[in-house]
Amino acid sequence: EAGVAQSPRYKIIEKRQSVAFWCNPISGHATLYWYQQILGQGPKLLIQFQNNGVVDDSQLPKDRFSAERLKGVDSTLKIQPAKLEDSAVYLCASRPLVARTEAFFGQGTRLTVV
């Protein structure tokens, strides 16, 4: 079974630039999460989709972050404009709709804002 695919693996941008991350979840997984993990901290949930609808985006800084999940499959997360404090690993995870199952994570994208 193919895992969660993310790209790019690494990205370095200057502050005020924009950046986009892509995630392809495991086939058939209805739930998709984007997490931000700053060095030394646990993953922080940014947004959760169920199919192509947003379930929870309460911690997404909506003035600069946006995310979409077209057709309930792939998802993109965008930051515009980036700030230095956005430097982090962005993790995508997916989970089937069956109750009480684990989430599967992609390899993440390490973003450095200089």
Q: Is 66 in the site for other proteins (CB under 8 A)?
A: no
Yes or no: say if 44 and 61 are a contact pair by the CB < 8 Å rule: no
**What does DSSP say about strands 65-68 and 75-79: parallel, antiparallel, or unpaired?**
antiparallel
Residue 86 CB, nearest approach to other proteins (Å): 17
Interface with other proteins by CB under 8 A: which range of 17-25, 49-57, 61-69, 72-80?
A: 49-57
Q: What is the DSSP letter of 86?
A: G
Interface with other proteins by CB under 8 A: which range of 20-28, 68-76, 77-85, 86-94?
A: 86-94
Binders of other proteins among residues 7 to 36 (CB under 8 A) are 31, 33, 35
Q: Is 89 in the site for other proteins (CB under 8 A)?
A: yes
Sheet holding 75-79, edge to edge: 5-7, 19-24, 75-79, 65-68
Residue 7 CB, nearest approach to other proteins (Å): 13
**What does DSSP say about strands 88-95 and 109-113: parallel, antiparallel, or unpaired?**
antiparallel
